Structure 1
């Protein structure tokens, strides 16, 4: 009887030690996680496809700190894909080599960037609905390409319809943003709010894709000497006060501000 009691106590002590060690491990892991920057999380996401790390990466990114949550919806794909080619076939199910080569390019200058090792992928929703960056299969493909270090440059011009100077001139649609409320006026209708969030989200997706592509090239570069830099060009309107006469800008309460 005494032997069994002693054996039971030893088991309890071992279990307590195990729980204590598990607790210490969790505290250590939590401390490490707290010490990580948004970039550290993004590098982990590029390396392992860890969705939690990816979520922490964009949630902690300083350039998204004031962006409305609705504009960031879906910026992190809900699931990972194990193969780039599978992601490609899901995004463009009817695309083959012949059809890809036959695709028209609106910006011929971009083709100068194309070489044997580089392919220019031009996406324009005006040409095809499958080019919609809010299409989950397409966005999953682009993020997968970025994480794999396949993207060398991100060049784009999100629509300026909600930042256009025409919204601040007589006869045009009413303003949707202001210097004080760059992500949308407080009195927007539901339809206007959706449009503003949609446009803000397109800017955000370009920024996230560039950050993920830079992390991907850092993780997957072949040598330490190979550059992990990713080119970036974002076309957007200048602040409206640079377009309007000073007197009008003053009356409208406008001042210099970048909508990014």
Structure 2
């Protein structure tokens, strides 16, 4: 079994998909999601039904069935997500990269929850590691948690997810420094993020292989989460974890 993020409710809908999640149920899910957005004074989401509706257009060879990312098996994803969770909270609370692997001390988690400025936290990134999460192409100030019959438990902003993964990737020293060596510049494209909350972030793991190696799996997960945000923003479609 794998833990994946699919992007696009209707972009790849074939007979197999219809048997698992019928189009009528997808429409009901989308209507429910838009009702929740309206309740909070947010604009509704318009889900693209075909690749032709995406603007700017995707590359001609793009397979809409492959939009999204594979996060690995459930067991391996949980381990990576658990450690990345601790790493992100440590950076937010201490303002520095950890020098060792976890201990998972409760004081760190309590301090993270009490941080007064949520712009300096990694709430969207941490939430996106869970099962049944919706990544929307909306700017959201905070993760929206709710209960529903579909078991989707929260809404995460792709805009904010991108900003948080770029910042944490900077701490982890992902990517080529010549492309983007800044907490507010994408380390794969050199594209600046609009959310400048992490502009003053100075935390970095040491610049040598012995420091990188213990965090390789978590760095890979951070990279995949950034790709999720990129896919959602480039298509305007929802991302669903599961």
Which structure has more relative contact order (CA 8 Å, sep 6+)? It is 2
Larger Rg computed on CA atoms: 1
More strand as a share of residues:
2
- Whether the TM-score (by the shorter chain) exceeds 0.5 is no
- TM-score after normalising by structure 1: 0.25
